[in-house]
Amino acid sequence: MSPVHKGYVAAILQALITGFSFLLVKVALTETGIFDLLAYRFAVAALLALIPIFNGKVKVEIAAADRQWILLLSLLYPCLFFLLQTLGLARMTSAEAGIIQAAAPIFTLILASLFLQEKTPGLQKLFILLSVAGMVFISLMKGTAVENYSFLGVAFLLLSTLSLAGYNVLTRQLTGRYSPFTLSCLITFPGFLLYLGLALIKHMLAETLSSFFAPLQNPVFILAVLYLGGLSSLGSSYLMAYALARLEAARVSVFSSLATVVALAAGIAVLHEPVGWYHFLGTAMILAGVIGTNFSNFSKAGKIDN
């Protein structure tokens, strides 16, 4: 299997894992709050990341010139991405958030052309827009609460989406010097420290510290957190970095639309969420956009061999 084909496999697996993670987030949130869940999620990811490091199988060494870039990478994702997304969702509906965050491939396309000199022909741009349009269409048809429209919420979600696009582009650049697993480890630990700190501060101020540990009595919650921390956080970031080492950032970013399709299917099959004709039409648009984008040729400018 060629490196490019391996990149596609990694991108598809990452989309599948991310898609199912939405379902498990819903399950876990029945037991705890958002910041507590993020703290548990990244605690699992950090513990798993430490195993190969302590065993000596992975050496995490950062060149002095790259330290600020690694710090920026971890700030973009997971720190700023999840924090800004949470602040935005607190002020807007999930449908509105879906519309705004559907712009991630477009932001990635713009940033990749500016910083990586990736050239995307007009046909690929049209397919990317088609995939984004499918996501926006589904969100619009699900309905938005216009009367509760929040410009501050929009700002938080736009910044969250921009941070994800920046992460895609910077990861693409750093995979020329660091392995995907090294990058995954390096971004996991700051996320763990941030969200554990936020969760503990929240409980100490409310004098509810004992409730932080209460969800651990539920085996379903533990299984959900193991999936979210092991596969969806550490595993997903590794697969994303692996794909970005072999494929253009704009091409990889469009697979986020595929994760939306998986999330819809999981919600319908497991949670018996209602399905409408617009789900099928929007899904067809998304799949056509993903397939069209990846069956067309990108410029080799900015290609990184790893």
Enumerate the domain spans of the chain: 3-295
Residues 306 and 63: their CA atoms lie apart, in Å, by: 18
Residues 71 and 210: their CA atoms lie apart, in Å, by: 33
> In terms of C-beta density within 10 A (0-12 exposed, 13-18 middle, 19 or more buried), how is residue 118 classed?
buried
Residues 6+ apart with CB under 8 A from 176: 245, 304, 305, 306
**pLDDT for res 262:** 87
**pLDDT for res 101:** 79
Residues 109 and 242: their CA atoms lie apart, in Å, by: 18
**pLDDT for res 145:** 47
pTM above 0.75, yes or no: yes
**pLDDT for res 285:** 92
**pLDDT for res 297:** 60
> In the structure encoding, which two tokens stand for residue 225, read together?
């957190």
**pLDDT for res 304:** 47
Residues 21 and 81: their CA atoms lie apart, in Å, by: 16
Per-run averaged pLDDT (10 residues), the chain, 306 residues: 92 93 89 94 95 81 91 95 87 71 88 88 88 86 60 88 95 92 92 96 93 95 96 94 93 86 84 82 90 68 44
Residue matched to tokens 């700190």: 197
**pLDDT for res 245:** 94
**pLDDT for res 306:** 45
**pLDDT for res 302:** 41
**pLDDT for res 281:** 92
Question: How far is residue 222 from each of residues 113, 228, 242, measured CA to CA in Å?
Answer: 42, 10, 28
CB atoms within 10 A of CB 79: 19
DSSP assigned state of 146: G
What's the angle, vertex CA 147, arms to CA 285 and CA 149, rounded to 5? 65
**pLDDT for res 305:** 44
